[in-house]
Amino acid sequence: MLRIYPRLMDDTTQDASSPTGGTGPDRGSGAVPAMRVTDPARIRALTHPVRLDILEILDDVGQATATQCAERLGETVANCSFHLRSLAKAGFIEPAPVRGREKPWRPVAHHRSMDYDPTDPASGRAMGEMAGLMVLREAERVRDFLQRNVEQPEQWRDTVSITTAGFWATADEMRALVQDVQHLTDRYAGRWRDPSLRPAGARPGRLFATINPDDYLSADDPRSTDDPRPTDDEVS
């Protein structure tokens, strides 16, 4: 599972796995739906930098027009309109209530999880493309931050971390670790949408994490703990 964006919602979520399913973030009781996507066509609709930028803007501000997106990104209005329509066709955004002559768009969900369908090889390939783009974007974001912020203010010392680790774990243990990481920011739930929940001095933060086995080892690989061959102690 690839969690595309941090959770920007309260704890109450609804399923919005189909392109037209769920309720918009400003409708009804105000519950923001979660979206799980396995359709390779929909996943590929996100594999474009401008579309990811637009989706990030909509997550940030709630709703925006093509003109507003163009001003934020330095793109043409026509280009942003095209990408907004593409995102809408894939079910990631929807029209917001019209404001006079303006036609804003809003996200269908702020929590989007991409997952591959084991019955559809195209789904796995689409996931690979999506994951590769996300890793490159996040790496560039971190590098840009570090280059722009050579010195840290005293009160923000020890708030930036780049951590790597190697470890041995079973599939179940690694699966549990993935779940743990995906819920690391739950303690801050609601703050993105409700400024009154933010303590004094709070700033937006970003978490980027990857977890993966070194490889999917076969049973006869000497590095696998499932190696069927006897150990020295077992040789008679």
Which residue ranges in the chain fall short of pLDDT 50?
1-31, 227-236
The whole model's pTM is what? 0.72
Q: Please give the pLDDT value at position 218.
A: 63
Whether residue 154 lies inside any domain: the answer is yes
Whether residue 75 lies inside any domain: the answer is yes
d(CA 80, CA 68): 9
CATH no. for residue 96?
1.10.10.10
Q: What is the distance, to the nearest Å, from the Cα of residue 170 to the centroid of all Cα atoms in its chain? A: 25
Whether residue 201 lies inside any domain: the answer is no
Whether residue 189 lies inside any domain: the answer is no
Q: Please give the pLDDT value at position 29.
A: 33
Whether residue 25 lies inside any domain: the answer is yes
Q: What are the start-end ranges of the E strands in 20-142?
A: 34-37, 93-95, 105-107, 111-114
Whether residue 109 lies inside any domain: the answer is yes
CA distances (Å), origin 94, targets 23, 62, 89? 10, 11, 9
Under a CB-based contact definition with an 8 Å cutoff, are residues 225 and 218 in contact? no
Whether residue 59 lies inside any domain: the answer is yes
DSSP character at residue 214:
S
Chain segment 58-88, per-residue pLDDT in tens? 988 889 999 999 999 999 999 999 999 999 9
- Looking at the structure of the chain, the number of domains it has is 1
The two tokens of residue 100 are 């006079």
**What sign does the dihedral 57-58-61-66 (CA atoms) show?**
positive
d(CA 153, CA 234): 59
Under a CB-based contact definition with an 8 Å cutoff, are residues 130 and 92 in contact? no
Domain that holds residue 68: 2-162
Whether residue 233 lies inside any domain: the answer is no
Whose structure tokens read 């970003």?
206
